[in-house]
Amino acid sequence: MIYRTLGKDNLKVSQLGFGCMRLPIINKDTKKIDVEKTRELLKYAINNGVNYIDTAYPYHGGKSEEVVGKILNDENLRNKVYFTSKLSLWMIEDKKGQEIFLNNQLKRANQKFFDFYLVHALNNKSWQTAKKFDTLNFLDEAKKNGKIKYTGFSFHDESIELFKEIVDSYNWDLVQIQYNYLDTNYQAGEEGLKYCEKKGIDCVIMEPLKGGQLANELPSKAQNIFKQYNSTNSYASWALRWLFNQKNIKVVLSGMGELDQVIDNIKSASIYNENCLNDVEETLINQTVAIIKNRKRIPCTNCKYCLPCPQGVLIPKNFSFYNKYYSSNSEKNKTDVKNLYSTLLKSEEKASSCIKCGLCEKHCPQNLNIIDLLKDVKKTLE
């Protein structure tokens, strides 16, 4: 495992972090984490050098913190890792609720403290809430009381000016942004990354594989580009390598739900470091980006923040079928996608069950116009 220094205390962190938003589940129920499979994955990852573990209150319907904390304690792994969680302001009603929220998180995870504590998914609305709740002072108090050691924020807004305002507002230890070779100009993007470097603030990366799309859903033409150059490297490895190549990226979070994913990602994180891409390889990635952007319609990352839908619509699944339809290479493949959509989804899970309540759009970190997009899915696939 290759390690980098993070924060003002130059902490030694693995450049691959374990994101606990997509853990193994039972019967396709995201609230039912398969504890023993998760234990296997975390043990393997930590025993092979991963020491940055990231979770949050809402992940897996509120179960991620509890399960991950228990495993770390049970297996005597807690002192080997930096354990990160987040302050989800949209779940809090007033200023006092912040302390109650943090105390509840620590209790659920059975921890005395979190190493890193991030203000979760900041956008313009939640930033105004943070100001109203005096959240920055709350973070200082939590540090004084020993409940958290280091602070940061994750960002989900289109405004680079808002991002810079938040960066400049506090003495952050880290900033977490969505960034991958397809989304260089999305949300904080490359400009935000460079701004943090200028300010001396380290960055942690989320969605490096865009919800697995850069690993499992590449168009065949893009797959062939990578295969012809190097048939042994996985598609995920290319995406991680592109990030490891960059200096101010300290940790790349991967939401790993299978052991082979953990093994493959650790392999990449043990080989590739800064300046690991040559000009030819960068050109291949740029060609891949052009192919994907020509095919992909909806930039959903399958984070599932939009769920549960009150009507039962499986929003990310609908978008996945829609994207597969438009990335198909033939009319036969498109027909196959429509048939799978028809047979695999129940009636209430399909786009046509949307009643335009708008709850999903309030929680979407990508700020997608979900209601309108579901109309497109219905028109195309139903």
The pLDDT of residue 329 is: 63
Q: Is residue 126 within 8 Å of residue 162, measured between CB atoms?
A: no
Q: Is the pLDDT of residue 135 over 90?
A: yes
Query: What's the mean pLDDT in 360-373?
Result: 93
E strand or H helix that includes residue 100: helix 97-109
Query: What's the mean pLDDT in 237-257?
Result: 97
pLDDT tens figures, 184-231: 998 999 999 999 999 999 999 999 998 888 998 888 889 999 999 998
pLDDT above 90 covers a percentage of the chain that reads: 85
- C-alpha dist (Å) from residue 175 to 83, 148, 151, 213, 255: 16, 16, 9, 24, 18
With tokens 């938040």, the residue in question is: 166
Give SS3 for 278.
coil
**DSSP string across 174-218:** EEEEE--TT-TTSTTHHHHHHHHHHHT-EEEEE-TTTTTHHHH--
Give the pLDDT band (50/70/90) at residue 243: very high
Q: Is residue 189 within 8 Å of residue 183, measured between CB atoms?
A: yes
Q: Is the pLDDT of residue 294 over 70?
A: yes
With tokens 């499992």, the residue in question is: 216
Please, what is the average pLDDT of the chain? 95
pLDDT tens figures, 26-39: 998 989 999 999 99
Q: Is the pLDDT of residue 113 over 90?
A: yes
Please give the model's pTM, rounded to 2 decimal places: 0.86
CA–CA separation, 215 and 213 (whole Å): 5
Cis status of the peptide bond prior to 308, with omega within 30 of 0: yes
The better pLDDT of the pair 333, 255 is held by: 255
The pLDDT of residue 334 is: 86
Query: What's the mean pLDDT in 234-244?
Result: 98
Burial of 274 (0-12, 13-18, 19+ CB in 10 A): middle
The pLDDT of residue 194 is: 97
The better pLDDT of the pair 39, 367 is held by: 39
Name the residue among 188, 135, 92, 125 with its Cα closest to residue 364. Answer: 125
The pLDDT of residue 366 is: 87
Q: Is the pLDDT of residue 170 over 80?
A: yes
Give the pLDDT band (50/70/90) at residue 299: confident
pLDDT tens figures, 309-365: 999 999 999 998 998 888 766 787 788 889 889 988 999 999 999 999 999 999 998
Name the residue among 12, 11, 35, 15 with its Cα closest to residue 25. Answer: 35
